[in-house]
Amino acid sequence: MNAIISAVGHYVPETRLTNADLEKLVDTSDEWIMSRTGIKERRILDTKKGTSHMAVKAAEMVLAQRGISPEEIDVLLTATVTPDLLVPSMAAVVQRELGATRCWGYDLNGGCTGFLCAFTTAAQFIESGRYRKVLVIGADKMSAIIDYEDRNTCILFGDGAGAVLVEPSDDDDTGVKDFILHMDGSGEDYLYMTGGGSRHPASLSTVNDKMHYLYQDGRTVYKHAVNGMADVFLRVLERNGLSGEDVNLFIPHQANYRIIDAVAKKVGISKDRVMINVHKYGNTTAGTIPIALSEAHQENRMKYEDWVVMAAFGAGFTWGSVLLKWALK
């Protein structure tokens, strides 16, 4: 049984945080941000709403596109590092809001690779024949864990959600063909949020010490991201007898224009075959790939039977790639 993406959707909040806005918050400039990251603006969710708000809207777009009701969903997988609550899961919150009463599901934290982890799990649920409709959502409200006094991080991240429906198909030509996933726990030293977990439960001192914010060693992450994404891009093609020339559209994790540009150069794929929307949204963590996929679909950038490669790198470290043949006509 082949697993295909049968519908794709996304949602971003309306409020924009521009580089000019950030110039008022920290010592930075539009010129610095544009030259180092290519990011012009990000979307910010209402502080009173949780990540599930965006996840549900992305899911509703998927259901409407496919013309099915929420009760038809068998499994709901939600990739996020910013669930509404620690308990219960965001999947449970989304299930209730969406009215997907018949499904079970769970959250998955794979950092910026989270969507690919959830998507490849969904594909295997379908390939095994056990389930017929798996909804996969990648969503993050990064504004909830960003310190808007820290110029190293606040310029990079934004809020957003994307979703896909994964279903079986008899068409052997299309669907998920292969994937590669990796994890290296030594990455904890370079990209982390220490407060609020079981090692450092929330307390006055964790708040005073700003432990509920995301920190990173940008240069180390940058280097690993470029090397990791380029490596899994090339290997997933090579072991399927393909090369960069065969790829119709590359959908990389949208962290930073320079990372995307460096990966594209390293693997030898021309920029017109790379999906880029990081300038509009910044890094929405688990949201970037499904949002980019949804916008690429809206822009008609993938034709039936096109080769599509997705690749991501993120906290853990985690990284991976997926090779698929586009199934929508």
Q: Are 212 and 145 in contact (CB under 8 A)?
A: yes
Q: Is 201 helix (H, G, I), strand (E, B) or coil?
A: coil
Q: How far is the CB of 19 from ligand COA (least distance, A)?
A: 9
Q: Which is nearer to ligand COA, 76 or 142 (CB)?
A: 142
d(CA 321, CA 319): 7
To the query of whether residue 248 is one of the catalytic residues in this protein, the response is no
Comparing CA positions, the residue from 167, 94, 92 lying closest to residue 133 is: 167
Interacting residues toward ligand COA by CB under 6 A: 28, 32-33, 36-37, 112, 151-152, 155-156, 216, 218-219, 221-222, 225, 255-256, 259, 283, 313-314
Is residue 283 among the annotated active site residues? yes
State the nearest-atom distance from the C-beta of 275 to ligand COA, in Å.
17
Give the length of the chain. 329
- Residue number, 100 or 262, with CB nearest to ligand COA: 262
CB of 318 to ligand COA, least distance (A): 9
Work out how close the CB of 198 gets to ligand COA at its nearest, in angstroms, rounded to a whole number: 24
Nearer to ligand COA, 84 or 140 (CB): 140
Q: Which of 103, 112, 117, 154 is catalytic?
A: 112
Cβ distance to ligand COA smaller for residue 103 or 146: 146
Mapping DSSP to helix (H, G, I), strand (E, B) and coil, where does residue 176 land?
A: strand
| Alpha-helix residue ranges (DSSP H) falling in the chain | 19-25, 30-37, 51-66, 90-98, 114-127, 204-208, 218-238, 257-267, 278-281, 288-298
d(Cα 45, Cα 13) in Å, to the nearest integer?
5
Q: Active site residue: 10, 53, 253, 297, which one? A: 253
Shortest distance in whole angstroms from residue 260 CB to ligand COA: 10
The phi, psi pair for 92, rounded to 5°, reads: -65, -40
Q: Which is nearer to ligand COA, 54 or 142 (CB)?
A: 142
**Rounded to an integer, what is the distance from CA 67 to the centroid of its chain?**
24
Which of 75/315 has CB closer to ligand COA? 315
313: Cβ contacts below 8 Å, ≥ 6 apart: 112, 113, 224, 225, 228, 229, 253, 255, 319
Amino acid at 309: V
Q: How far is the CB of 50 from ligand COA (least distance, A)?
A: 22
Angle in degrees, 0-180, between the axes of helices 51-66 and 288-298, rounded to the nearest 10: 30
Nearer to ligand COA, 313 or 326 (CB): 313
Residue 2 among the catalytic residues: no
Choosing from 2, 256, 283, 297, the catalytic residue is 283
Residue among 83, 59, 84 at smallest CA distance from 72: 59
How far is residue 258's CA from residue 262's CA, in Å, rounded to a whole number? 6
Could you give the count of Cα atoms lying within 13 Å of 114 in the half-sphere of its Cβ? 28
User: Where in the sequence numbering do the catalytic residues fall?
Assistant: 112, 253, 283
